[in-house]
Amino acid sequence: MLNFLNPLRGLDAGTVVLRMLLSCLCGAAVGVERSAKNRPAGFRTHILVCVAANLAAMTGLYLYLELKMPSDISRISAQVISGLGFIGAGTIVVTRNLSVKGLTTAAGLWTTGIVGLAIGSGYYELAVIGTALVLIAETFFGMISARIHRPPEYTVELAYDEKTSLENVLRLCKDQRMSIVNLRVRTIAVSADDGAQYTATITLRGNVETDDMLRQMRMMHGVVAVAAL
C-alpha cells in the first residue's frame, strides 16, 4: 500500500471525480481490446460495469465513513462480485455443436467489475496493477493462446458391410497415433440377401496426412465408402 495516496482515499467531491474518471479509464482500456475483436461486450459495457462497481463500493464507504452508520463497508461490494457472476453467465453462449462462446468475455467483465470495486474503495494502485495484468492476459497471452498447438480434429464418415471392418479401421487409426474422440455406429440398410450395412461416424484427433489415411481406409475389406467431413 502506497501511503502517499492516503489523502486521496477518503470521500469528497474531488476524489469522487477522480474515482469516476479512473474507473472510466480502466473500463475503457479493457473494453477497447474486446471491442476491437467485435465481442458481445465492448467498450461501453466494460465502462458501465467498472463505473457501476465503483459506485457500489463508494456507497458502501459513504454509509460508514460519512453517515456513520454501523454497517460493513465491504458488504455492498461483495454482492457486486456475485452479481457480476450472473451477468457473466448471461454472456456465455452454448453453440449447436456443444461448444462454448463468450467465456473469456465473461471472465474479463467479472474482473473489470472487481477493478471498479478497488477504485471505489480508494485502492487505486491495486486497480492499476489489476488492469495492467488483465491487458497483458488479453493481448499478449491471447496471442500465445492462439498459437498453443492443438492437434486438429477430423470427423470421418465410414460405410461398411462387414462388421470386422470397423475394428480394422479403428486399429489403423491407433497405429497412426490418432486418438478417437467420439464414435457413433448406425445401421442404415437391411435386406434379406445383402445383410446389414452400417455407417460409423468417427471423430479423431492427431497429426496425420488425412488423404493418405482415407485412401488406406477405402482399400480395407468390407469398407464401402469413406468421407471426411
Residues 146-205 that bind another protein (CB under 8 A): 148-150, 153, 163, 166-167, 183-187, 190, 196, 198
What lies within 8 Å, CB to CB, of 64 at 6+ separation is 71, 72, 73
Query: Total binding residues for another protein by CB under 8 A?
Result: 76
Using rule CB under 8 A, residue 6 touches another protein: yes
Options 12-20, 38-46, 83-91, 216-224: segment touching another protein (CB under 8 A):
83-91
Question: How far is 222 from 164, CA to CA, in rounded Å?
Answer: 8
Residues 163, 169, 174, 177, Cα dihedral to 10°: -160
Min dist CB 138 to another protein, Å, is 6
Residue 154 beta carbon to another protein: minimum distance, rounded to whole angstroms: 13
Largest pairwise CA distance in the chain: 92
Taking CB under 8 A as the rule, does residue 2 contact another protein? yes
Contact 110, 92 (CB under 8 A): no
Q: Which of residues 26-55 bind another protein (CB under 8 A)?
A: none
- For residue 215, the minimal CB distance to another protein (Å) is 25
Q: First CA to last CA across the chain, in angstroms?
A: 57
Give min distance, CB of 217 to another protein, in A.
18
DSSP-derived 3-state class of residue 15:
helix
